[in-house]
Amino acid sequence: MKRNDVINFKALEKELQAALIADEKYKRENAAKLRAVEQKVASYEEFRGIVLASHLKPLEQKDKMGGKRPVPWNCHTSQGRPSQDETNELSLEKTLFQPETSAEFYRDWRRHLRSGPERYEALLQLGGPKLGRLFQMDVGFGLLGEMLVALADHVRPADCWAVLGILHSLASTGRFTLNLSLMSRAERESCRALFQKLQAMGTPSSEGQGLGEQPGGLQEEEGLLQELLMLYHVD
């Protein structure tokens, strides 16, 4: 075999593990959504709580209080000293946000990107095409609303074209309409505020920083914005 034909089994194994984790998370959350619908929950908050808690497992007899429990029963809520995996991943905060799978995005988004400005810059860094590929099958539960909030709170006139590209890519992901319908009232308000800001920023400024200076011109930008208004059900 030629040198360039050598297979990187370590990289393949990492990719396979990430895909399995993402698939397991998707199936778990989808099952939780179906259970919540069957139970006819009274509110969106209750529905959201069931889905977000889908990773939890009931305590076993050996996990009762007072007994030895070297491994925490719920790693997502454990407090105190970080685990070895968490320690190894702390350096991610200082590196570029470049997840290769939706599972990696979800992990780093929740663990390391806590503030609105950090999340906004991360979305711009990835861009619409990359986000569209990462979430081709489905945007994880709750993520769509969180992304829209970050965009709405920090959108800048110079970033309008990039933000429109992100919105267009997210609208093309699997189960977009369902995820849109599951957003909270506050997230819906942020979505509406985002489009209001984009409409206000659509007119080219005297410095030439408006979307009219972007490829396609103002007419194409206005057409894309109108299309997105319908896709996101914004009046």
More confident residue, 85 or 148: 148
Residue 20 counted as domain residue: yes
97 alpha-carbon distance from chain centroid: 13
Residue 85 counted as domain residue: no
Residue 80 counted as domain residue: no
Residue 48 CA neighbour count, 13 Å, CB half: 12
DSSP 157: G
Statement: residue 190 has pLDDT above 60: yes
Per the document, the length of the chain is 235
Q: Are residues 25 and 141 in the same domain?
A: no
Q: Which band of pLDDT confidence, cut at 50, 70 and 90, is reported for residue 208?
A: very low
Residue 81 counted as domain residue: no
Q: Are residues 24 and 113 in the same domain?
A: no
Place of tokens 């945007």: 139
Q: How many domains does the chain have?
A: 2
Q: Are residues 121 and 232 in the same domain?
A: yes
Return the pLDDT at 168.
96
Domain carrying residue 105: 99-235
Q: Are residues 119 and 41 in the same domain?
A: no
Place of tokens 């290769």: 100
Return the pLDDT at 24.
79
CA neighbor of 115 nearest in space, from 149, 78, 86, 157: 149
Sequence-separated contacts (24+) of 176-184 with Cβ below 8 Å: 176/139, 176/144, 176/231, 179/138, 179/139, 179/141, 179/143, 179/144, 180/144, 180/232, 180/233, 182/44, 182/47, 182/48, 182/141, 183/144, 183/145, 183/148, 184/44, 184/45, 184/48, 184/145
Q: Are residues 128 and 184 in the same domain?
A: yes
Sign, CA torsion 21/27/33/35: negative
Residue 202 counted as domain residue: yes
In this prediction the pTM is 0.58
Q: Are residues 49 and 105 in the same domain?
A: no
Q: Which band of pLDDT confidence, cut at 50, 70 and 90, is reported for residue 228?
A: very high
Statement: residue 164 has pLDDT above 90: yes
Considering just the CA atoms, what is the radius of gyration of the chain in Å? 21
Q: Are residues 39 and 103 in the same domain?
A: no
CA gap 160, 84 in Å, rounded: 40
pLDDT tens per residue, range 1-38: 455 556 777 777 777 777 778 777 777 777 777 777 77
Residue 121 counted as domain residue: yes
Q: Are residues 45 and 115 in the same domain?
A: no
Q: Are residues 131 and 50 in the same domain?
A: no
Residue 194 counted as domain residue: yes
The per-residue pLDDT of the chain, averaged, comes to 76
pLDDT tens per residue, range 76-113: 444 555 554 444 444 444 456 788 898 889 888 988 88
Q: Are residues 112 and 13 in the same domain?
A: no
Residue 125 counted as domain residue: yes
DSSP 77: T
209 alpha-carbon distance from chain centroid: 28
Percent of the chain with pLDDT over 90: 37
Statement: residue 232 has pLDDT above 90: yes
CA neighbor of 158 nearest in space, from 208, 209, 215, 94: 209
